Chains A and B, each alone.
Chain A
């Protein structure tokens, strides 16, 4: 009598692994046995209802496929006919390892970056996948966004006393390809373009606490450095100003102060910064 474990493993493998299932359903000793055939219990195999196994297998595979499509619609568009095989291979290489349904697709950007043929054809694909995953990740992010004091940073005293509070869901990415342009192109034209020139860009991705929508904003190098510094260490607005001056040695510091204050206001309005905290708080 096979054990419960043997039964679950054997039937489960038939359900999720299409090649093993095809081999089993063919029922022919001539068909080459899959590599994992040794792990399957022969007594269990003899008792499996073939039609039922086929139904479960199809439904499980379709569920995975549908899920991946729902999270990576742009990647699906780009890959077109290749998508189905890519999706199947993904779940083979990265079996569903989490109780949260959507999280089982979190490794897809890593997976696609290793797909040499697809990456050669569409070199921006891994970054596109990363962008798509981050949209879902930020929608669901369990981190609470704690808004801080809303104060006007309009004097030298305020600049030295206060630090920005960065939206707790924010991620800063430096992409090699113009990812926002690429997604806009797909949205507007519904056409796939194979080639996009490399054009590095800084993108912040975060959830807006007022709407719960995920926002993507492209930042210049100085603005990105300011956000990064504010995120990685508690920095007063004065520290951020110092950084901006260091990055722009030829510029008039007074102009930089004005520009930085404008930037801060914009970042606060867009909820990249969610208020300010006073030194010592």
Chain B
């Protein structure tokens, strides 16, 4: 049967190189608008939220295409899908006409408790069937192309029956959805679990990759942790280049969530991603949007609370 997702992918816009909209980086992000093609948002930080956060989002939407990358859909959970969550998500996606949305191939809740972290799943046949059925329901409800992202993880779950690449492939194909490939997560997992990252990505249905995440990591004790708080290392850029030689993607995004450097360093990394992307002729179709004059963004005092971040542990 022909994949309706692949047909949908062919009609998605090619966005270029993006950055996450983070309150700590917002002023600099707006000031460097010409270096950024699109922005990724964490929807939970904006669903039914007003004030500065909403103003920031509205201002961002004036300048860039927005893409949504969620944390708490909890697609692998055995809890019921949270319809209140899905309704709020759908409203946000509709309000900003977001071309596609994504979340993580993990679970973030059980027994109604949100762990606020990306937790690994057992690579089992039961999990495949369970997740496929839930992805179909989510796609039917939201009515926009949906991508799942491979996470970094620090322990293998009990009950694994098949390799991770087979687990992901079965889900992607049976649910007929897209892949947000996080090349840093692949690299981090390859270090923690001892496998070849190139072989890993080669085993995935790369034609389903719509978006790629690039990020930095840090060695803490015995583990390499996906911190989104350091510069991107060369092997991750190499993996990015490898994937781009094999498939066309619609957007690449730099994740930076903590330990923020001078913004010039972030711009340099965006430029390097752009250079890396240009090795693939298919990706040269990047079309930069016409820019409106940069808005002066007024930072308000959001000193309380935290933004949800796509960090696995």
Contact = CB atoms under 8 A, between A and B. Distances in A.
B124 interface: yes
B313 A98 contact: no
Nearest to A53: B155
B308 interface: yes
B115 A12 contact: yes
B285 interface: no
A135 B304 contact: yes
Nearest to B89: A99
Interface stretch (A1-9, A19-27, A112-120): A1-9
B157 interface: yes
A212 B51 contact: yes
**Residue from A16, A102, A139 having most chain B Cβ neighbours under 10 A:** A139
A186 interface: no
Determine chain B's interface SS by DSSP, over half rule: loop
Interface in A131-165: 132, 135-136, 138-144
Contacts of B50: 140-144, 169, 207
Interface string B217-230: 00000110000000
A151 to B, nearest CB: 26
Contacts of A51: 155, 222
B250 to A, nearest CB: 27
Interface in A207-235: 207, 211-214
B158 interface: yes
Nearest to A133: B304
B107 interface: yes
Interface in B271-313: 300-302, 304-308, 313
A1 B200 CA distance: 27
A247 interface: no
Interface string A38-51: 00000110111101
A255 interface: no
A135 B119 CA distance: 31
A132 B304 contact: yes
B119 A12 contact: yes
B52 interface: yes
A56 interface: yes
A244 interface: no
A139 B302 contact: yes
B305 A60 contact: no
**Residue from A44, A98, A138, A214 having most chain B Cβ neighbours under 10 A:** A98
A109 to B, nearest CB: 14
Interface string A8-40: 111110011000000000000000000000000
A7 B51 contact: no
Q: Chain B contact residues (Cβ within 8 angstroms of A): what range? A: 35 or more
Given A56-B155, A212-B55, A4 B122 contact: yes
Contacts of A136: 304-305
A16 B159 CA distance: 20
B113 interface: yes
Interface residues of A, number: 58
Contacts of B154: 52, 55-56
Contacts of B156: 49, 52
**Residue from B53, B122, B307 having most chain A Cβ neighbours under 10 A:** B122
Interface in B125-142: 126-127, 130
A277 interface: no
B29 interface: no
A200 interface: no
B44 interface: yes
A44 B117 contact: no
Given A4-B78, A9-B110, A97-B112, A140 B49 contact: yes
A4 B111 contact: no
Interface stretch (A65-73, A75-83, A172-180, A267-275): A65-73
Given A4-B130, A7-B159, A63-B116, A101 B77 contact: no
Contacts of A213: 300-301
A171 interface: no
B115 A16 contact: yes
Contacts of A132: 304
Contacts of A46: 158
A136 B47 CA distance: 15
A189 interface: no
Contacts of B78: 4-5, 8
Given A1-B159, A99-B44, A136-B305, 6 more contacts: A51-B222, A59-B117, A70-B305, A96-B115, A212-B52, A213-B300
The 8 closest A-B pairs by CB, nearest first: A52-B155, A47-B158, A99-B72, A102-B305, A5-B78, A49-B155, A142-B48, A212-B52
24 contacts: A3-B126, A8-B107, A11-B158, A12-B113, A46-B158, A49-B155, A55-B155, A56-B154, A60-B115, A67-B116, A70-B305, A95-B112, A95-B113, A97-B112, A101-B306, A105-B305, A132-B304, A140-B50, A142-B48, A142-B49, A207-B51, A212-B52, A212-B300, A214-B301
